[in-house]
């Protein structure tokens, strides 16, 4: 049987600025099963993630640049269509890094089986996937979060941020959530029950605003955005506060070299800890994350929303819209 795979490829590197749809192309190629690559998978859900932006430049990063004209990678959930590997059979649901395409062939070692689950499959790209694990590992392994503390979260209406907010609320923390639209503010306040949510785009003086909403200062800041927001948060940390550097989306598309932090004196005087982490260093740290997250989801203690675009042709738009904040919760493409 001839297999035709349709995929997203990067046409040119994008050293600065926001990507445009014209920077991508939808291509197709013919695939054939062989002795090594002996499993055919049809994707059903594709994850769209900010880290992909870093792979669209030629700069050195923690993952190599995407190859121009070739399939972009990314996380995906799909079902096995045909298998000559005795470990996999038709109908098996699998997780892979063969996203940004509608179907593919690979070997068994490239796939992770998803066992019977009553959860929607795309949950394995959201709260039970990389973004949920990022929230969990960031808070517990790096943030040393403690019951009752005050925690500030940026990009709180997104996939990582909304999970961070809910884990912290479940621990009895006081949660202050920053996000970029009134719709996201409503969701955070009314459904996720954070203590304070605000639209950072409507705030003139962020340092003053943070002082107003939390005069005693924050124990922990979960930083998804970097830049000016990070600088403002440093001013409002408590002594011995911790800042977890998870992302820097406000600087990902900068057209000039981002300015450095001007208030390092506060880091010294307040004896702050600033710590970066990458979830890719925690690929084997599945427990207790998976058990806790499954329990929380089934008990209704972690809720999630998804923004879904349909068909592989719309994946570039989904990615650009993610960078522009058009997603509420996890950005996904349904194939």
Per CB under 6 A, residues contacting ligand NDP are: 49-51, 131, 134, 155, 157-161, 179-181, 184, 224-225, 246-247, 249-250, 277-279, 322-323, 325, 327
Residue 208, sorted as left (phi over 0), alpha (psi -120 to 50) or beta, turns out to be alpha
Pick 24 or 198: Cβ nearer ligand NDP: 198
Closest distance between ligand NDP and the C-beta of residue 188, in Å?
10
Helices (H), the chain: 130-137, 159-170, 182-186, 206-213, 227-235, 264-269, 289-298, 315-323
Pick 40 or 330: Cβ nearer ligand NDP: 330
**Rounded to whole angstroms, how far apart are CA atoms 58 and 267?**
33
**Rounded to whole angstroms, how far apart are CA atoms 313 and 13?**
20
Pick 84 or 201: Cβ nearer ligand NDP: 201
Backbone angles phi, psi at 315, to 5 degrees: -65, -40
Closest distance between ligand NDP and the C-beta of residue 315, in Å?
15
Closest distance between ligand NDP and the C-beta of residue 225, in Å?
4
Closest distance between ligand NDP and the C-beta of residue 18, in Å?
9
Pick 225 or 335: Cβ nearer ligand NDP: 225
Closest distance between ligand NDP and the C-beta of residue 324, in Å?
7
**Any residues with CB less than 8 A from the CB of 179 and at least 6 apart, and which?**
155, 156, 157, 158, 161, 185, 188, 197, 198, 199, 200
Pick 171 or 203: Cβ nearer ligand NDP: 203
Pairing of strands 24-31, 112-113: unpaired
Quick one: angle between helices 227-235 and 206-213, nearest 10? Answer: 50
> CA–CA distance from 321 to each of 18, 66, 299, 309, 331 (Å)?
10, 20, 32, 10, 9
Largest CA distance in the chain: 68
Pick 240 or 280: Cβ nearer ligand NDP: 280
Pick 88 or 187: Cβ nearer ligand NDP: 187
**Any residues with CB less than 8 A from the CB of 215 and at least 6 apart, and which?**
none
The residues with which 103 forms a beta bridge, in sequence order, are 42
Closest distance between ligand NDP and the C-beta of residue 92, in Å?
27
Query: Interior CA angle at 179 toward 283 and 181, to 5°?
Result: 130
Closest distance between ligand NDP and the C-beta of residue 49, in Å?
5
Pick 105 or 252: Cβ nearer ligand NDP: 252
Closest distance between ligand NDP and the C-beta of residue 272, in Å?
19
């Amino acid at each position: 049987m001839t297999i035709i795979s349709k995929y997203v490829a990067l046409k040119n590197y994008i050293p600065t600025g926001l990507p445009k749809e014209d920077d991508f192309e939808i291509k197709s190629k013919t695939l054939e099963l062989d002795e090594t690559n002996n499993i055919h998978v049809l994707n059903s859900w594709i994850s769209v993630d900010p880290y992909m932006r870093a792979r669209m430049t030629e700069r050195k990063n923690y993952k190599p640049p995407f190859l121009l004209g070739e399939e972009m990678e990314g996380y995906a959930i799909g079902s096995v269509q045909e298998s000559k590997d005795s470990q996999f059979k038709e109908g098996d649901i699998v997780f892979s890094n063969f996203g940004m395409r509608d179907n593919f062939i690979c070997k068994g070692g490239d796939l992770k089986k998803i066992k019977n689950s009553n959860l929607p499959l795309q949950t394995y790209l959201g709260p039970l996937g990389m973004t949920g694990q990022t929230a969990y590992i960031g808070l517990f392994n790096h943030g040393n979060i403690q019951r009752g503390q005050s925690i500030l979260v940026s990009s709180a209406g997104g996939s990582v941020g909304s999970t961070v907010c809910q884990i912290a609320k479940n621990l009895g923390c006081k949660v202050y959530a920053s996000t970029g639209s009134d719709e996201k503010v409503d969701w955070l306040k009314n459904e996720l029950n954070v203590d304070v949510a605000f639209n950072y785009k409507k705030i003139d003086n962020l340092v003053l605003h943070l002082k107003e909403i939390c005069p005693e200062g924050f124990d922990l800041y979960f930083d998804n955005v970097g830049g000016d927001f990070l600088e403002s948060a440093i001013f409002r940390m408590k002594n011995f506060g911790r800042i977890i550097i998870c992302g820097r989306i406000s600087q990902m598309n900068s057209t000039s070299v981002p300015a450095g932090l001007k208030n390092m004196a506060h880091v010294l005087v307040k004896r702050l800890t600033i710590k970066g982490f990458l979830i890719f260093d925690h690929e084997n740290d599945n427990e207790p994350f998976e058990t806790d997250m499954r329990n929380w989801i089934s008990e209704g203690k972690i809720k999630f929303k998804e923004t879904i675009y349909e068909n592989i042709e719309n994946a570039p738009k989904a990615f650009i819209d993610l960078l522009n904040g058009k997603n509420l919760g996890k950005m996904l493409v349904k194939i």
